[in-house]
A and B are shown apart, each in its own frame.
Chain A
Amino acid sequence: GIQVEQSPPDLILQEGANSTLRCNFSDSVNNLQWFHQNPWGQLINLFYIPSGTKQNGRLSATTVATERYSLLYISSSQTTDSGVYFCAALEYGNKLVFGAGTILRVKS
């Protein structure tokens, strides 16, 4: 099945800094999603981005499907951005395969 790898596994930022999270996947995908899991465990949808670039406030994401990677950009980070960021690729119609996540800690 498809493999999804995320980097870095852990990241500590000073408030206001920018960061880039990477997601590599081993095969072509029909669907790629980025999620933020907050300290309470809620999994928040950030982007549905099988290809191209999208922006939502301080967050943006780019997926280059032909090269099998996606990037999540966080600008001007805030302490509320802390948590775990997951990317997940749709292996076939209904199975999302998750990466191991990037644990982000933003310090004030």
Chain B
Amino acid sequence: SQTIHQWPATLVQPVGSPLSLECTVEGTSNPNLYWYRQAAGRGLQLLFYSVGIGQISSEVPQNLSASRPQDRQFILSSKKLLLSDSGFYLCAWSRGTDQPQHFGDGTRLSIL
């Protein structure tokens, strides 16, 4: 069966510091991968998605970037964090376009 892993589970970072969140999927090949952010505990917003290695689509202009260095690895990064980057970040995967998406357990990011 397929599993999705995110780490770390929680992270506290100072303003201006860099960020790297990692997500990996097991048990499937060539998945679509997604990064979502949830602010204030209500509603998720799609940040990035990827349909293959090195292919990244951005949905919302922001201080963040994403990369997919391997088939089942998706990384969310920032060079300098802002206070507004605080939130709950979830990674998801699907078998392809129009397929159901399955979510990881999320990373709770606090910026001080």
A residues adjacent to B (C-beta < 8 A): 30-31, 33, 35, 40-43, 45, 48, 84, 86, 88, 90, 93-101
Q: Is the CB of B42 within 8 A of A101?
A: yes
Interface of chain A, main secondary structure: strand
Whether A96 touches B43, Cβ cut-off 8 Å, given contacts A42-B106, A43-B90, is no
B27 contacts the other chain (Cβ, under 8 Å)? Answer: no
Q: Is the CB of A99 within 8 A of B103?
A: no
Whether A86 touches B88, Cβ cut-off 8 Å, given contacts A31-B98, A41-B105, is no
Whether A41 touches B88, Cβ cut-off 8 Å, given contacts A30-B98, A31-B99, A94-B34, is yes
Complex: chain B residue closest to A49, CB-CB: B100
Q: Hey, which chain B residues are within 8 Å of A98, CB to CB? A: 43-45
B74 contacts the other chain (Cβ, under 8 Å)? Answer: no
Shortest Cβ gap from A4 to chain B (Å): 9
Q: Is the CB of B105 within 8 A of A42?
A: yes
Q: Is the CB of A45 within 8 A of B100?
A: yes
Whether A93 touches B97, Cβ cut-off 8 Å, given contacts A41-B88, A86-B44, A101-B42, is yes
Give the distance in Å from the alpha carbon of A96 to the alpha carbon of B34 in the complex: 10
Q: Is the CB of B102 within 8 A of A45?
A: yes
B21-74 interface with A by 8 A CB criterion: 32, 34, 36, 41-46, 49, 51, 57, 59
